[in-house]
Amino acid sequence: MQIDMFNFIRKINGIFGTGKAGARHLQDVINLILPTP
């Protein structure tokens, strides 16, 4: 499951590009999956 999530995030990063923009979107995805209090 963890590997599938990693591949899922990699696909999203590939779509939205890498760098700051990709990292920012990655953080948003993580917040959606694991909301911070």
Q: Which of 31, 26, 33 is nearest to 12 (CA)?
A: 26
State how far the Cα of 33 lies from the Cα of 19, in Å rounded to an integer: 21
**Residues 2-15: pLDDT tens digits?**
667 777 877 776 76
pLDDT of residue 30: 80
**Residues 11-37: pLDDT tens digits?**
776 766 666 666 777 778 788 887 766
What residue ranges do the domains of the chain occupy?
2-33
pLDDT of residue 29: 78
Query: Distance of alpha carbon 7 from its chain centroid, rounded?
Result: 10
State how far the Cα of 16 lies from the Cα of 37, in Å rounded to an integer: 26
